[in-house]
Structure 1
Amino acid sequence: MTLTPVTKLKRREFLRKGTLGIGSLALSQLINQDVRAEGLHHKPRAKNVIFLHMVGGPSQMDTFDPKPALDKWDGQSLPDELTRGQNFAFITPQARVIKSPYGFKPRGDSGVVMSELFPQLATVADELTVIRSMRTDEINHGSGELFFHTGHGRIGRPSFGAWTAYGLGTENTDLPAYIVLKDGPTAAGTSVWSNGFLSSRHQGVEFRKGRQPIHFLDSPGFTSREERHDVIDAITKLNTKSLERYQDPEIATRIAQYELAFRMQKSVPELVDIDREPQHIQKMYGLQPSEQGGGTQFARNCLLARRLIEKGVRFVQVFAGGWDHHAAIYNALPRSAAMVDQPCAALITDLKQRGMLDDTLVIWGGEFGRTPMIQEHNAGNGEKTAPGRDHHKECFSIWMAGGGVKGGFTYGATDEFGFGVTESEVHVHDFHATCLHLLGMNHERLIHRHQGRDYRLTDVHGHVVHDIIS
């Protein structure tokens, strides 16, 4: 099975025959760059990805990794041998432990244990693999987001979505392979969905809120579609002359992107109009008629993500803000959980009832976890605050569903405090290697040569976590 669009092959053949007069060197660079990553290394378990990123870093011991021992240690400092030599963002190693006020119990037939904060997600517990033993290298938000999505804590590397688009392309030539939806800002900005040193056609395309997700989606009122097409043709001729002269593959990318943008003017407006969905589907996601508030942007984004995947988009990245709980965590955390609980459960249910869950890998998590110790002072001015939790990179929890992972399964373990991994560590590089494996790609073979070196999403690290694969 090949996932490369037929129209793309026809275009290559068209260019190969020199109809547009593209220089042979530039053409060779374009084709060779694609061939290195095209095709599947093995049979895939998933075709698409929906990555739900909780911006800020959810607290693992309040969500998916219960720690009753914290009740006994509440108000005390952790053992010195545990915190000695550890780095924290805003607290000291002597900071006092704070217990979780939330109840945990087994959910579903499988008995996956999760917090009472997720009553709706509990109804699909048997579809989840919960990984409690995640670990990252980064302790701050910007670098943490970059590491979680690009495998590197500094700007300049391609994101997971860009690597996926590079390796698999798109099944819909009228839409980008990689689309980004968000309800607020990210700490690392657009670098989180960057193409890095890959061709810019693999960069994530951000859809804004509302019915005009892309600037200039509509043609001016005095311009017909045919006239717009004439403009695109004229620009293509000019860009083709530049490509013949400079032999820069990015010019060929620009030609393709102009053509894609023209097609998106027709394909996108209907796609993003989620009011076309049946009322019972909108209600399942927690959406309401606009006169009643409409529901949260995250809920709309989850429903739109399903529609995008349904249309052949390869990778949809959804960001949900509001998870950086340095202060007043037990006022803010329930609100954050309530915002995503119903839409996440609805997304899994909706994908399953449409027969799409088996082919779609759904991922939920943040850039790191939180400390079992309390943060009770504002990092900027030192003033006393309501209790919160600091950043923590040594362990955190995520969950995955569909796309070839086991259902109703919990993997890995942390110590009694939720401070460090004690069993089956899954480093971010291992997470990436596993996701690529599920998509039918060998992380050690998905490479791109840049400045004399072969680069990978997993760099020189990573191993596939076969135990979570069904």
Structure 2
Amino acid sequence: MEKEMLDHLMTFNRRRFFSKLSLGLGSAALGSLLIPDLFGKRSDSDDPDFIPGTPHFAPKAKRVIYLFQNGAPSQLETFDYKPKLRELFGKDLPPSVRGGQRLTGFTATQTSLPLAGSFVDFSQYGQSRAWVSDLFPHMAKIVDDLCIVKSMYTEAINHDPAITFFQTGAQQGNRPSMGSWLSYGLGNENKNLPNFTVLISRGKGNSQGVYSKLWSNGFLDSIHQGVQFSKGEDPVLYLRDPEGMSRQSRRKMLDRLAELNQLAYEEVHDPEINAKIKQYEMAYRMQTAVPEITDLSKEPDDIIKLYGSDCLIPGTFAANCLLARKLSENGVRFVQLYHQGWDQHVNLPEEITGQTKDVDQASAALVTDLKQRGLLDETLVIWGGEFGRTCFSQGKLTKEKYGRDHHPRCFTIWMAGGGIKPGMVYGETDEFGYNSIANPVHVHDFQATVLHQLGLNHEKLVFKHLGRRYRLTDVSGKVVRDILA
């Protein structure tokens, strides 16, 4: 009986071996014909001298802190002053200005598009004489450190694709985010912390959700995925040792696990196995580094006063800005903040007043804090949302209450530090705040410029996946050299 069973197993194994061998050889031959580089390096660049983890040329900046205002702040209540809208309050947007531009479902059925002048006043500040609304008294004080870009435009008109487009260069998911591309292109600066971290806060206004695909590694190795920090007792989930396990036992377990993973890698040569080994080791080192970084209680009184008392409340925008500074100065390449609450369709005056109070002081404090520490020159700070807001009201219009719909054709962001010209206003919009009339900047241009400041050529930061060369800027984008210091 045992001999028959053994013969059966040997027959089965031989049959399976020859069957799989024939399929494997056929698939390999076909694959090599269809995709010549299928069996080459997993990642490649059009630059044969490029090695992932090193810049293409000397960088101006080492790190990025991106203060993403999720939901799309209205440029007309923040940085793009349009007194003409007050004069024409309630009159219909001229068809010649709109030019057949696509509208969302919120306003496409409206019989008129009444122009809405801003409820808030503006003043000019600094040597740049930049216009800033009264909602931003703290940002107004640092205006000469900012490069305000008024002519941003995007292709997406709804939140999900627009946010995804800014973060990944594509409106669909499953692409690497900007932070992942920087991690891949530049490598680690601090071996005890991840290259790419994510912080989320929520304001007082109508919130658009954020989702993990915005900090996904896509087809890059998973070591490049963003690590989310939470406001709870455990800033990074599952980082603590299980109850009853000592550090020594944890170390031994990881060593044995690494040996098993190495055996698996030698058998199947899946690069993701090596990525997992690196992730386990990173998590082990983060057990010591993260609690120290996230402890804000030791910050001096002058720093607490600078950011505001909210910085001592975990999960607030102010706390996340202060934490972003600590992460950045400790070598985290890309710190991504998402602050929700800017989707103001109906009652913009009330909602934006509370929302700007959340972000004004802490945003200005971050720039000031980095500057006084000598870190602003090597840190690129970015502030802005996924698109802008219409110059006409969505729904009923009164001077006390109005809303603004999505507007992708022109909107405002600002950048500071990292080799960007300070005290500059770039781009211009028409008197309605509807179209750019000078120096338009596409999302891919913005992404190309960010990569350039970190020493990366956006056309050469390439990863081959399924036979296609992918990059953050897809097949377009140009560096906006006018704003470079």
1:289-304 map, 5 Å: 294=313, 297-304=316-323
Deviation at 1:398, TM superposition (A): 0.2
Q: Look up the equivalent residue of 2:349 and give its one-letter code.
A: Y
1-structure distance, mates of 2:99, 2:147? 32
Task: Confirm or deny: 8 A CA contact 1:106 1:113 kept in the other structure.
Answer: yes
Deviation at 1:289, TM superposition (A): 8.7
TM-score scaled to structure 2, two decimals? 0.86
What is residue 325 of structure 1 aligned with on the other side? 344
Q: Look up the equivalent residue of 2:166 and give its one-letter code.
A: F
1-structure distance, mates of 2:438, 2:194? 39
Change (3 A) 1:225 1:30: farther
Q: Look up the equivalent residue of 1:91 and give its one-letter code.
A: T
What is residue 16 of structure 2 aligned with on the other side? none
1:307 maps onto 2:329 in alignment: no
The one of 425, 431, 442 equivalent to 2:446 is 431
2-structure distance, mates of 1:27, 1:258? 28
1:155-211 CA-to-partner distances (Å, cap 9, x unmatched) read: 111111111111001200111000000014753511111111111111111011134
SS in 1 for 2:127: coil
The one of 455, 460, 470 equivalent to 1:440 is 455
2-structure distance, mates of 1:259, 1:31? 23
Aligned CA RMSD, in angstroms, stands at: 2.1
The one of 244, 247, 260 equivalent to 2:266 is 244
1:275 maps onto 2:297 in alignment: yes
1-structure distance, mates of 2:299, 2:477? 41
2-structure distance, mates of 1:44, 1:437? 7
1:355 maps onto 2:374 in alignment: yes
2-structure distance, mates of 1:36, 1:43? 14
Task: Confirm or deny: 8 A CA contact 2:53 2:183 kept in the other structure.
Answer: no
Task: Confirm or deny: 8 A CA contact 1:36 1:447 kept in the other structure.
Answer: no
1:91 maps onto 2:91 in alignment: no
1:191 maps onto 2:210 in alignment: no
The one of 252, 255, 262 equivalent to 1:230 is 252
1-structure distance, mates of 2:305, 2:231? 19
1-structure distance, mates of 2:136, 2:199? 22
1-structure distance, mates of 2:310, 2:403? 33
Matched residue count: 436
SS in 2 for 1:120: helix
1-structure distance, mates of 2:208, 2:225? 16
Task: Confirm or deny: 8 A CA contact 1:132 1:396 kept in the other structure.
Answer: yes
Task: Confirm or deny: 8 A CA contact 2:114 2:392 kept in the other structure.
Answer: yes
1:42-98 CA-to-partner distances (Å, cap 9, x unmatched) read: 221110000000010010111111111101221111111222421112113732111
TM-score scaled to structure 1, two decimals? 0.89
Q: Look up the equivalent residue of 2:240 and give its one-letter code.
A: D
What is residue 15 of structure 1 aligned with on the other side? none
**Structure 1, gaps ≥5 residues long:** 1-25, 378-384
1:60-139 map, 5 Å: 60-89=75-104, 90-92=106-108, 94-139=112-157
Q: Look up the equivalent residue of 1:223 and give its one-letter code.
A: M
Deviation at 1:221, TM superposition (A): 4.1
Deviation at 1:304, TM superposition (A): 0.3
Task: Confirm or deny: 8 A CA contact 1:106 1:114 kept in the other structure.
Answer: yes
What is residue 52 of structure 2 aligned with on the other side? 37
What is residue 58 of structure 1 aligned with on the other side? 73
1:150-169 map, 5 Å: 150-169=168-187
Task: Confirm or deny: 8 A CA contact 2:153 2:409 kept in the other structure.
Answer: yes
The one of 136, 160, 185 equivalent to 1:142 is 160
Change (3 A) 1:265 1:326: same
1-structure distance, mates of 2:201, 2:72? 16
SS in 2 for 1:192: helix
1:49 maps onto 2:67 in alignment: no
1:320-355 CA-to-partner distances (Å, cap 9, x unmatched) read: 111000111000101111100000111001000100
What is residue 3 of structure 1 aligned with on the other side? none
1-structure distance, mates of 2:175, 2:215? 10
What is residue 401 of structure 1 aligned with on the other side? 416
Task: Confirm or deny: 8 A CA contact 1:286 1:295 kept in the other structure.
Answer: no
Q: Look up the equivalent residue of 2:260 and give its one-letter code.
A: L
Change (3 A) 1:27 1:279: farther
What is residue 265 of structure 1 aligned with on the other side? 287
1:388 maps onto 2:388 in alignment: no
SS in 2 for 1:346: helix
SS in 2 for 1:132: strand
Deviation at 1:39, TM superposition (A): 2.0
The one of 360, 363, 370 equivalent to 1:344 is 363
The one of 418, 437, 452 equivalent to 2:433 is 418
SS in 1 for 2:165: helix
1:285-336 CA-to-partner distances (Å, cap 9, x unmatched) read: 112596xxx3871000000000001110000000111100011100010111
SS in 1 for 2:66: strand
Report % sequence identity.
Answer: 48
2-structure distance, mates of 1:420, 1:95? 16
SS in 2 for 1:223: coil
1-structure distance, mates of 2:232, 2:433? 40
SS in 2 for 1:387: coil
Q: Look up the equivalent residue of 1:444 and give its one-letter code.
A: E
2-structure distance, mates of 1:251, 1:317? 27
2-structure distance, mates of 1:206, 1:186? 18
SS in 1 for 2:156: coil
What is residue 368 of structure 1 aligned with on the other side? 387
Change (3 A) 1:83 1:110: closer
1-structure distance, mates of 2:99, 2:294? 51
Change (3 A) 1:98 1:288: closer
Deviation at 1:454, TM superposition (A): 0.9
2-structure distance, mates of 1:135, 1:45? 25
SS in 1 for 2:297: helix
The one of 464, 470, 473 equivalent to 1:455 is 470
SS in 2 for 1:336: helix
Q: Look up the equivalent residue of 1:349 and give its one-letter code.
A: T
Task: Confirm or deny: 8 A CA contact 2:42 2:464 kept in the other structure.
Answer: no
1-structure distance, mates of 2:311, 2:276? 40
Q: Which moved more, 1:163-172 or 1:213-222?
A: 213-222
2-structure distance, mates of 1:27, 1:117? 57
Larger radius of gyration: 2
Deviation at 1:110, TM superposition (A): 2.2
2-structure distance, mates of 1:295, 1:267? 18
Change (3 A) 1:376 1:468: same
Task: Confirm or deny: 8 A CA contact 1:97 1:373 kept in the other structure.
Answer: yes
